């Protein structure tokens, strides 16, 4: 009697020493890195009762005069309709102000209020400290200019992809 051995074929391109498929995908790596470097700060936001989307909204407006809903949507990483609802809630809480654009009445412009600045002032300082700590870890693991090169390359990639 002949023995039949079940064989399992390796997926194309998969070697025993190769990286897992997901670990070869840039979108996965970018998302995973973002998750890992953000987790601790997001936990502090949660303890403080500040939703991540609200933090992103106010953080985007922190050092800008004002932004449109579309600009905010791209920065917060959510749909424009969700951004409108987020801005409306923040406006009702007195954290932002909305105004109609004088040149294009279809556009809404949003700015942070003094109350909004007070609401996140310590979080802005915390985010800056967190960023410096992450940069120090990256620079220590790779080399002294790794973080600035990475940020520069990511900004260039984002600009190219947003065209």
Domain boundaries, the chain: 28-161
Q: Which CATH number fits domain 28-161: 3.90.180.10, 1.10.3720.10, 3.40.190.10, 1.10.10.10?
A: 1.10.10.10
pLDDT at 3 over 50: no
* Residue 148: HSE in the Cβ half-sphere, 13 Å Cα cutoff: 3
pLDDT at 8 over 60: no
Six token digits for residue 147: 């973080």
Is the full-model pTM beyond 0.85?
no
Using the CB atoms, write b or e for 38-47: b if 16+ within 10 Å.
eeebeeebee
Using the CB atoms, write b or e for 75-95: b if 16+ within 10 Å.
bbebeeeebbebbeebeeeeb
**Measured CA distances, 83 to 56, 119, 160 (Å):** 11, 19, 24
Bigger pLDDT: 121 vs 16 = 121
User: Average model confidence (pLDDT) for the chain?
Assistant: 90
pLDDT at 2 over 50: no
> What does the DSSP assignment read for 66-97?
-EEHHHHHHHHTS-HHHHHHHHHHHHHTTSEE
Tokens 């051995």 locate to 5
Q: Find the Cα–Cα–Cα–Cα dihedral 111, 112, 113, 114, rounded to 10°.
A: -140
The pLDDT-based confidence of 163 (bands split at 50, 70, 90) is confident
Do the Cβ atoms of 20 and 14 come closer than 8 Å? Answer: no
Model pLDDT for residues 17-71, shown as the tens digit of each residue: 688 998 899 999 999 999 999 999 999 999 999 999 999 999 999 999 999 999 9
Tokens 């002294």 locate to 144
pLDDT at 113 over 60: yes
């Amino acid at each position: 009697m002949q023995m039949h051995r079940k064989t399992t074929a390796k997926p194309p391109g998969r070697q025993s020493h190769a990286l897992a498929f997901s670990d070869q995908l840039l979108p996965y790596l970018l998302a995973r890195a973002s998750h890992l470097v953000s987790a601790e700060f997001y936990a502090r936001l949660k303890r403080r009762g500040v939703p991540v989307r609200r933090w992103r909204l106010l953080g985007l407006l922190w050092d800008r005069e004002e932004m449109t809903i579309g600009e905010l949507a791209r920065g917060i990483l959510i749909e424009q309709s969700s951004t409108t609802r987020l801005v409306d809630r923040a406006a009702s809480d007195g954290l932002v102000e909305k105004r109609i654009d004088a040149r294009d009445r279809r556009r809404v412009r949003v700015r942070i209020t003094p109350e909004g600045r007070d609401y996140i002032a310590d979080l802005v300082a915390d985010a800056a400290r967190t960023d410096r700590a992450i940069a120090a870890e990256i620079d220590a693991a790779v080399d002294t200019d790794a973080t600035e090169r990475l940020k520069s390359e990511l900004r260039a990639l984002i600009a190219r992809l947003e065209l």
